[in-house]
Amino acid sequence: MRADLLAETIDGIDEALAAVDAFDQVLTAGLLRPQPAQAAGLARLAGAVTGTPLAARVAEAAEKAAAGVASEDHLVALAAARTALLGSVHDALMTQVTEATGRPGGGDYPASEQAGQGTSARQAANVLAAARSWLSDLARGGWRGLDTGVVSESAPVVSAMLAEPALRRLATLLDGFAAELAASCPGATLERVPARRWADLWSRGMLLTVPGAAGAPATGTVTGRLLPLGIDLTEHPTAAQAQVHAVLEPADGGGPRLVRATVSVPKPDTVIGAGVWQLLRPRMSLLAAVSQGRSMDLADMPVTAEGDLIWSDEHARLGEPAAPFAAARVALPTATAMATAPLDRHPARIAVPVFLEGYAARQDDDALVFTVTGRPLAVDTDRIPVAGPLTPEAVAASGACIGLLRWDAGSFSVQPLAVETTVKKKAVAVQAGGWAGGTTDAAGVKAEKAATDATSVLRERAGRLLRK
C-alpha cells in the first residue's frame, strides 16, 4: 500500500466537515429555543447542500428549526443533509484509498438496489415512529439538556424493536446510543461533548426510522473458496458483532472479490470478553474456521450488492488449511472491492483490508505508529479485542500486518487484524480474532471458563425468574 497517497489533501473536505460541525453545535445546544448562533449553523448546513436534490427541503427545514418550530419531518431532512455531506466525504476518501491500495475499485452501487426493501409491516411503522419521536425529543433538548428522564424513554422503544429481527439495526444503534447518553447525564455538567459522534448516531437513527431504509437485500449467491483475512469485533454494552473480512475465489473462474461475513447479537452488559465469542460462535461456523486457520467452501451463499454474505451454515463447509497471510499476499492484491450502499456512505464505515510489511514501528507518546512508504500511519491498538491472543506489544514487534484502513477526525489509521511476528526465530501469525472459534491457549481457556460461569448464572436466574 502507498501510504504517501493518503497524505494528499482533498479539495472540499474541510468545507464539508465545517458545515457538519456547524450543525453538530446546533444539536449540542438543542432546538427548543434556537439562538442566532444556531440559526447560523442551520443555514450553513442548508447552504452546503444548495444545488442538490435536497436543497429545497433542507432550506425549509433549517428555517423552521431556526424558528423553533421544526416538525419531525424537518428533522429527518436535516439528518439527510448531514448524511449527504458525510457521504461526499466518504466518496472522496474512498477514491484516495483505492489509489493507495492499488486494487480494483468497486464501481457504482446498482441503482435498482438503492431503494431498500426491508420490512414494511404496519407494526414496524408504529415502532419506527416511536423511535423518531424519541430522537426528535433528544434534538430539541440538545446534548447539553440531557437528563435521565428523556434518555430512559428509549427503553420501551428499543425493547419493542429488539423482538423483531428486521428492526435489529435501528434497535442496536439506539440501545448503544442510549447507554452512552445515560452514562453522560446530566448533559449540563459534561466536561466535553462527543459532538460529531452523537450527531452521527442521531442522524443515522433518524434516517433508519424511514420505513425501508434499513433494507440490505441479498442480490445473488456466490459459490467458491472463502479465504479469511481476519475478524473485526465491534461491541457496545448490550450488543456485539463479529465481521470476517475475506477474499472469495469464485468457482466459476471469475476474479477474486472482497467480501464480509457478519454475525451480531444483543447481549446483557455483564457478558463480555470471551462470553461475546460464545454467543456469536454457534451461529456462524466461519468463526471456528478462522481460529483453525482454515478456508471454507461456499455453495450458493446469499450475498448483497455490498459484498456482505448473508451467512447460513448450510451453504458452507470447512475447507483446506489457509493461512491469512498467504491470502493477504497472494489473493488480496487483485481482489475487487464492492461498492458501498448509498446510506452507508460515511467515513466511519471505511474499513478497507490492507496488507502491510517492511514498515518501521515506533511508539509515539501514547500511540503506536507504522512508517509505511515513508509516511506515518497511526495504529489503532485500542480496537484489538481484549479476549484474543493479539496484544499491542505484539503489533509493535511485528514485521507484517493485515489490517483495516480507517479514517476518523481528519486522519487515516490502521486497525490490526493479524500480525506476523518472530517467536524463537520462527515466524508466527497472531490474529485479533484468534479466540473467536475457541482456543486451547491457557489465558484463553481461563477467559472462556469465566465467561461460561457468568452466562450460566444469568441463564439460571432467567430460568427461575422470567415469565413468573
Partner 1 sequence: MPDWEKLSTARVIPLARPRKLAKVPFAELADGRLQGVVSSGSDIERVYVSSVAASTYTFACSTNNNRPCGGARGSFCNHILALVNEAVLQYGAERVARYLRVELGGEEPSAPSITRGMSVTRPAQGDTALAAPVFSRFLRHLAYLELAPVTAPVPEMQWFPPTRAEA
Q: Which of residues 230-289 bind partner 1 (CB under 8 A)?
A: 233-241, 243, 260-273, 279-280, 282-284
Kindly tell me which residue out of 9, 410, 426, 442 binds partner 1, with binding defined by CB under 8 A. 410
Positions in 328-347 near partner 1 (CB under 8 A):
344, 346-347
Q: Examine residue 212 and tell whether it contacts partner 1 (CB under 8 A).
A: no
Kindly tell me which residue out of 8, 108, 252, 382 binds partner 1, with binding defined by CB under 8 A. 382
H helix or E strand, kind and range, residue 388: none
Kindly tell me which of 74 and 245 has the beta carbon lying closer to partner 1.
Answer: 245
Closest distance to partner 1 from the beta carbon of 226 (Å): 14
Closest distance to partner 1 from the beta carbon of 116 (Å): 12
Stretch binding partner 1 (CB under 8 A), from 76-84, 368-376, 410-418, 436-444: 410-418
* Inter-residue contact 38 to 138 (CB < 8 Å): no
Task: Looking at 102-167, list the stretches that DSSP marks H as alpha helix, in order from N- to C-terminal side.
Answer: 122-141, 148-152, 154-162
Closest distance to partner 1 from the beta carbon of 299 (Å): 16
List the grid coordinates of 111: 441503482
Kindly tell me which residue out of 45, 179, 206, 356 binds partner 1, with binding defined by CB under 8 A. 179
Collect all residues with Cβ–Cβ distance below 8 Å to 455 and sequence separation of at least 6: 271, 275, 278, 279
Kindly tell me which of 256 and 273 has the beta carbon lying closer to partner 1.
Answer: 273
Positions in 214-233 near partner 1 (CB under 8 A):
216, 233
Closest distance to partner 1 from the beta carbon of 329 (Å): 27
Positions in 309-328 near partner 1 (CB under 8 A):
309-312
Q: Quick one: 223 exposed, middle or buried, by C-beta within 10 A (0-12, 13-18, 19+)?
A: middle
Tallying the residues shown for the chain, one arrives at 468
Q: Examine residue 113 and tell whether it contacts partner 1 (CB under 8 A).
A: no
Stretch binding partner 1 (CB under 8 A), from 30-38, 58-66, 96-104, 196-204: 196-204
186: preceding bond cis by omega (within 30 degrees): yes
- Burial profile 359-393: b = 16 or more Cβ within 10 angstroms, e = fewer: bebeeeeeebbbebbebbbbbbbebbbebbbbbee
Size of the site for partner 1 (CB under 8 A): 101
Closest distance to partner 1 from the beta carbon of 59 (Å): 26
Positions in 417-436 near partner 1 (CB under 8 A):
none
Positions in 51-110 near partner 1 (CB under 8 A):
none
φ, ψ dihedrals at 292, nearest 5°? -90, -5
Closest-CA residue to 244 (of 353, 325, 106)? 353
Closest distance to partner 1 from the beta carbon of 427 (Å): 25
* Inter-residue contact 311 to 263 (CB < 8 Å): yes
Kindly tell me which of 313 and 320 has the beta carbon lying closer to partner 1.
Answer: 313
What is the x/- site pattern for partner 1, positions 346-375, by CB under 8 A?
A: xxxx-x-------------x-x--------
List the grid coordinates of 73: 419531518
Kindly tell me which residue out of 193, 247, 401, 417 binds partner 1, with binding defined by CB under 8 A. 193
* Inter-residue contact 243 to 261 (CB < 8 Å): yes
* Inter-residue contact 221 to 301 (CB < 8 Å): yes
Stretch binding partner 1 (CB under 8 A), from 101-109, 125-133, 152-160, 250-258: 152-160
φ, ψ dihedrals at 417, nearest 5°? -100, -30
Kindly tell me which of 3 and 384 has the beta carbon lying closer to partner 1.
Answer: 384
Positions in 12-51 near partner 1 (CB under 8 A):
17, 21
Kindly tell me which of 225 and 281 has the beta carbon lying closer to partner 1.
Answer: 281
Kindly tell me which of 235 and 441 has the beta carbon lying closer to partner 1.
Answer: 235
Positions in 438-467 near partner 1 (CB under 8 A):
450-451, 453-455, 457-459, 461-462, 464-466
First and final C-alpha spacing in the chain: 59
Q: Examine residue 152 and tell whether it contacts partner 1 (CB under 8 A).
A: yes
Q: How are beta strands 375-379 and 367-372 bridged, if at all? A: antiparallel
Closest distance to partner 1 from the beta carbon of 328 (Å): 21
- Whole-angstrom distance, CA of residue 116 vs CA of residue 446: 44
Neighbours of 438 (CB within 10 A): 18
| Alpha-carbon 131 to chain mean position | 21
